[in-house]
Amino acid sequence: MHEWWRSAVIYQVYPRSYQDDDGDGVGDLAGITRRLDYIASLGVDCIWLSPIFASPQADMGYDVSDYLAVDPLFGDLNAFDELIEAAHARGLKVIVDQVLSHSSDQHEWFKESRKDRTNPKADWYVWADPLPDGAPPTNWHSHFGGPAWEFDPGRGQYFLHNFLASQPDLNFHNPDVIDAILETCKFWLDRGLDGFRLDTVNYYFHDQKLRSNPPAQAKPQVMATDLYGMQNNIYNKTRPENLAFLERLRALTDQYEDIMMVGEVGEMGRRSIEIMGEYTAGTDRLHMAYSFAMLGPDFNAEHFRNCIEGFQTGAPDGHPYWSFSNHDVPRQVSRWAEYSVSEDAMARLACAMLMSFEGTIGIYQGEELGQTETELVFEELTDPPAIRYWPAVKGRDGCRTPMVWEKDAANAGFSTGKPWLPVKAPQAAKAVDQQGEGSILAYYTDMIAYRKASPALTHGKTAFISLPEPLLAFTRTSDEQMLTCVFNLSKDTQTIPMSKASAIAVGNAATLKGGKLTLEGNGFAYLT
């Protein structure tokens, strides 16, 4: 079987913000279809679409009210079919975000479930009685602030929600729920979809005994919206039952050709790498997984090495997916600004690092332009946690502002109407029509092409070289080729003695002379 995903570069499209074709200020499927030639020109293999399903949009589509319908904001099933056909004609695969752990409270399933305790779907969501003093059943936290439980006076019970109260958690301990969920997945596979990005893949099951979490063992991480870090989250997520469900889902996808599933592990640090390993072990679970391990503020050689080696150790037969940005975190050029000589230098360094990593690579729309985080004021916000906790939390809107196509066009060519989030001058300055020869866009295109042509980078094994901070170094070796990749993760020039003759195959701010490799700030080299 051709496992196309093993060496793939996947391009994430945030549909609300890619291209608006009908002028309502929100991106749509027709707009994405119109831009497929651009996406194909990057040399990527696959498009990941953030949620497009029917939704009240309380959490920008991550609250699904109908798993079998396209939200009218984005089009309809015909527009979806046209997008799939047009993408396939250009050699592009398409996967879609599947938000299975919870639905919208506007879903018909939940509307029926909350009516009473005896209806046919009464046990399709996680319901529990109050404690004797009326308190929630457990101490579990919601990611968006407050307890993970909401009291429903109709049933006289609490329901579980790991995110907004309007995003109730489905009860995966009920086999009827699993059967219904699998049917919705089959619906999209039958329409030609090439796979799924599984949102919050370790949240499906909860502890049936409803035990409260113990305090965090390590120093707790406390954020204004998110008290998860103050607990050791062993009962509200990453339950052992998750694995059996993933095996059911894999059995479904194996009925089709060339399907791929990538799971989002909602966890940070070493534990996230361990879960990635568990969820991709063998051939009957996920094809690959990613975590937030590389999506945070950490930018040092030890961190990146620990992530990659941790996966190698924890999942020797698994397959990782690495990315530096997505729709939930600040853009990498801004996030790592304190380590950068310039935005341009950081964009090139990040690209070169990502393209050298073993596994599948993910790019978030705008990365290929060197895009930066948009600074917004309160009146411009749409993200629920930001609105609730401003100004302590800036939220996720800053990385979700529209794609910029033409610098001097209205809204940088995104829409003829008022966009749902503003397009500001610093972002418009990086528009596609400003990216000529020698630009970040040209660099991404060249580096993707280089990776795809390199046996060492597409399927070579990784072995790290121990160099002092701020130098990250490793070899990628296949039967046909070996490359030594060295990166300077600082602003200061670094010099490394070379024990044998080498040549720079690809580099930036790098010179090799007299047996020494000199890397200026944010410089790097692939050596042969």
One-character DSSP codes across 426-495: HHHTT-GGG--TTSHHHHHHHHHHHHHH-HHHHH-EEEE----TTEEEEEEE-SS-EEEEEEE-SSS-EE
Catalytic residue numbers read 199, 264
The pLDDT profile of the chain, 528 residues, written as one tens digit per residue, is: 579 999 999 999 999 999 999 999 999 999 999 999 999 999 999 999 999 999 999 999 999 999 999 999 999 999 999 999 999 999 999 999 999 999 999 999 999 999 999 999 999 999 999 999 999 999 999 988 889 999 999 999 999 999 999 999 999 999 999 999 999 999 999 999 999 999 999 999 999 999 999 998 876 555 556 677 889 999 999 999 999 999 999 999 999 999 999 999 988 777 888 899 899 988 999 999 988 889 999 999 999 999 999 888 877 878 999 999 999 999 999 999 999 999 999 999 999 999 999 999 999 999 999 999 999 999 999 999 899 989 988 999 999 999 999 999 999 999 999 999 999 999 999 999 999 999 999 999 999 999 999 999 999 999 999 999 999 999 999 999 999 999 999 999 999 998 877 899 999 999 999 899 999 999 999 999
505 Cβ neighbours under 8 A, 6+ residues apart = 483, 525, 526, 527, 528
In residues, how long is the chain? 528
Q: What is the pLDDT of residue 314?
A: 79
pLDDT 10s digits, 385-425: 899 989 988 999 999 999 999 999 999 999 999 999 999 99
CA 387 to chain centroid:
22
Q: What is the pLDDT of residue 1?
A: 52
Q: What is the pLDDT of residue 221?
A: 57
Q: List helix spans (H) across 315-365.
A: 332-335, 343-356
Name 482's bridge partners.
477
Ordered by where they begin, the domains of the chain are 4-101+175-452 (3.20.20.80), 459-527 (2.60.40.1180)
Please give the Cα distance from 267 to 342 (Å, whole number): 30
Nearest to 486 by CA among 361, 426, 470, 478: 470
Q: What is the pLDDT of residue 424?
A: 98
Q: What is the pLDDT of residue 269?
A: 73
Q: What is the pLDDT of residue 223?
A: 55
Please give the Cα distance from 19 to 35 (Å, whole number): 8
> Which CB contacts under 8 angstroms, 24+ apart, belong to 446-450?
447/351, 447/352, 447/355, 447/506, 448/9, 448/42, 448/43, 448/44, 448/355, 449/43, 450/355, 450/506
Query: Using DSSP, how many helices (H) and how many strands (E) does the chain show?
Result: 14, 19
